[in-house]
Copies of this chain bind each other. A is one copy, B any other.
């Protein structure tokens, strides 16, 4: 079950663990990530913790404040728009490429992914469901056999999870799955053009389901809201 993950105790392993916790909303935006605290949790020194936090900082998942420490990032409205703009440039065309290379096994894997997502949702594990939902997009990039683009989409998906945590406005929760089902159908029909169009619309739907009015700054803590 361990999918070529680094040995525990390494910076990569810690970073992966934290990234997943962030992606699953177990660590909400604004959470302080103290070095000593994390070092104690994982039983390692601050040196390794710092390496992990730096790695996440490069991926824009944690924000470093000078002499203040690391915090789970709180994307601004502007960042949110930029992330989805970037996704809209990368993902539709990548879905197109993926469709043309997709095997029956790939399609079954995607279907299994959605099933797992549904199971998580039924079990009340909404964080895990969100994580799997994001992984769905990453899997498609992987099937397109473009690891460079996959890495970029992976970062954007994780950041999207933070954006959803901050700006999601309640709505029908199952719209996501519907869009993913439609994508699988297009893949099964080997209709690359349709897959591209569906992905494009899916991303548009995601953006419109967010509340990105500039007014709502949405501070992490009310303390920070009054800090300035």
Identify which of B51, B55, B82, B89 contacts A90 (C-beta below 8 A). B89
Contact of A93 among B54, B89, B94, B152 (CB under 8 A): B89
Establish whether residues A86 and B54, one from each chain, have CB atoms under 8 Å apart when the complex forms: no
A79 touches B148 (CB 8 A): yes
**Which listed residue (B55, B59, B82, B146) contacts A86, Cβ 8 A?**
B146
* Any B CB within 8 A of the CB of A102: no
Encode contact with B along A30-54: 1 for CB under 8 Å, 0 otherwise: 0000000000000000000001001
Q: Which residue of B lies closest to A151 (CB)?
A: B60
Copies of this chain assembled into the complex: 2
Tell yes or no: A85 within 8 A of B by CB.
yes
Cβ A86 vs Cβ B149 within 8 A: yes
- Expressed in whole angstroms, the minimum distance between the Cβ of A35 and any Cβ of chain B is 14
Q: Contacting A82 at CB < 8 Å: which of B55, B59, B83, B147?
A: B147
Interfacial chain B residues near A86, Cβ < 8 Å: 90, 146, 148-149, 152
* 10 closest cross-chain pairs (CB), A and B: A82-B148, A58-B58, A86-B149, A86-B148, A89-B93, A89-B90, A82-B146, A89-B89, A83-B148, A152-B152
